[in-house]
Amino acid sequence: MALINCPDCGKELAESAKNCPHCGSMKHLQKGKLLACGCMIVLALLVWAFSAFMEYRWRQGN
């Protein structure tokens, strides 16, 4: 179980905790979701760029 620092009070809490046991903040959850969302967008862009590149290469070959 990973420990992270609360963005509000700075104390350690479990990554899986719904809210901070010290101050009750839920900001760390929103931050994690935003990060996951950003990773998905970057991944989608990479896949799109790769497929566009492959199509370009395929068209060049013909």
Binding site for Zn ion (CB under 5 A): 6, 8-9, 20, 22-23, 25
Least CB distance to Zn ion at residue 20 (A): 3
In the complex with Zn ion, the residue whose CB is nearer, 14 or 45, is 14
In the complex with Zn ion, the residue whose CB is nearer, 21 or 38, is 21
Distance, CA of 50 to CA of 42 (rounded, Å): 12
In the complex with Zn ion, the residue whose CB is nearer, 5 or 51, is 5
- C-beta separation of 8 from 25 below 8 A: yes
Half-sphere exposure of 36 (CA within 13 A, CB side): 6
